């Protein structure tokens, strides 16, 4: 599933072709993805000018001059294709700009979504209403995590995946950040020291920033809007490396938490 760096990479790629552009045509080629397309999407967005692009957690935001924002989620396999040479079967939404750019939202598994939300109501829109701070923003601090984890016995990795505590973190990057900060993933969150959390916050930012610079992590279907593959997977230190040697020489271990694989090093993470 595309995670925060993949969505950020996508948004930055789309911005080069959409920001400041008028949407000359928008075509919806099926009634739904994970849920139906907004019934007024074509009417509202045709002729609108894209004023800015953004991201909230794992959602991409296309702001318009009509006070409406098109919010997209890539689901399991979604990706935007820029200037495609030819239409593909799973191009479910196509945008053409006034200057002739063509962008297609392709989603073979159809777990993605597209919504139309009043721009001034985004913060209180359902999925965003109870989200925690962005991991790349100033609001994510060791003090915030300490307060959120107070008296919690659940494993720290599980709570970092809770979108009400931190918005947008996913399995890959939580595993990598916990490794970099030396925290074992099954440790009770309430027992993690403030000093350890002070290591964790910059580790989260570093791993996300490095992944964005690398174009994200390509897993199965994900590709950047240009069609290029993200290559941060080559920098994974523990994720997906069960049985391989950690940098300390000990084997990387794997176990399942909440239905997701957790990768870690017993020697490096305490």
In eight-state DSSP terms, residue 108 is S
Distance CA 32, CA 41 (A): 12
Residue 185 a catalytic site member: no
- Dihedral pair phi/psi, residue 207, rounded to 5°: -70, -35
- CA distance readout (Å), 76 to 33, 114, 212: 11, 14, 18
Distance CA 133, CA 140 (A): 6
Kindly report the three-state secondary structure assignment for every residue of 24-53.
Answer: EEEEECCCECCCECCCCHHHHHCCCEEEEE
If we measure between CA atoms, which residue out of 104, 99, 124 comes closest to residue 114? 104
Q: Which of 55, 56, 58, 81 is catalytic?
A: 58
**Helix or strand run (H / E) with residue 93:** strand 91-97
Q: Which residues pair with 60 in a beta bridge?
A: 55, 72
Residue 3 a catalytic site member: yes
Distance CA 82, CA 103 (A): 5
Residue 157 a catalytic site member: no
Q: Which of 66, 146, 199, 260 is catalytic?
A: 260
If we measure between CA atoms, which residue out of 210, 181, 186 comes closest to residue 260? 186
Catalytic site positions: 2-3, 58, 260
């Amino acid at each position: 599933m595309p995670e925060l760096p993949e969505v950020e990479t996508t948004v930055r790629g789309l911005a080069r072709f959409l920001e400041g552009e008028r949407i000359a045509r928008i075509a919806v080629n099926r009634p739904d993805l994970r849920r139906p397309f907004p019934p007024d999407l074509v009417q509202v967005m045709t002729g609108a000018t894209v004023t800015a692009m953004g991201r909230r957690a794992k959602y991409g935001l296309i702001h318009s001059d009509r006070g409406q924002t098109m919010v997209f989620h890539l689901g399991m396999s979604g990706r935007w294709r820029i200037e495609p040479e030819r239409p593909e079967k799973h191009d479910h939404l196509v945008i053409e700009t006034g200057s002739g750019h063509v962008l297609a939202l392709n989603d073979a598994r159809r777990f993605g979504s597209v919504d139309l939300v009043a721009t001034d109501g985004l913060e209180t829109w359902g999925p965003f209403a109870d989200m925690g701070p962005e991991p790349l923003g100033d609001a994510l601090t060791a003090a915030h995590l300490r307060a959120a984890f107070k008296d919690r016995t659940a494993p720290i990795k599980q709570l970092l995946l809770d979108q009400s505590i931190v918005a947008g973190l996913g399995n890959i990057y939580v595993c990598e950040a916990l490794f970099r900060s030396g925290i074992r993933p099954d440790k009770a969150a309430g027992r993690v020291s403030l000093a350890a959390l002070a290591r964790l916050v910059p580790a989260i930012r570093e791993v996300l920033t490095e992944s964005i610079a690398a174009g994200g992590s390509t897993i199965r279907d994900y590709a950047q809007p240009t069609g290029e593959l993200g290559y941060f997977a080559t920098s994974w230190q523990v994720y997906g490396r069960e049985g391989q040697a950690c940098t300390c020489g000990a084997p990387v271990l794997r176990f399942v938490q909440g239905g997701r694989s957790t990768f870690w090093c017993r020697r490096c993470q305490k």
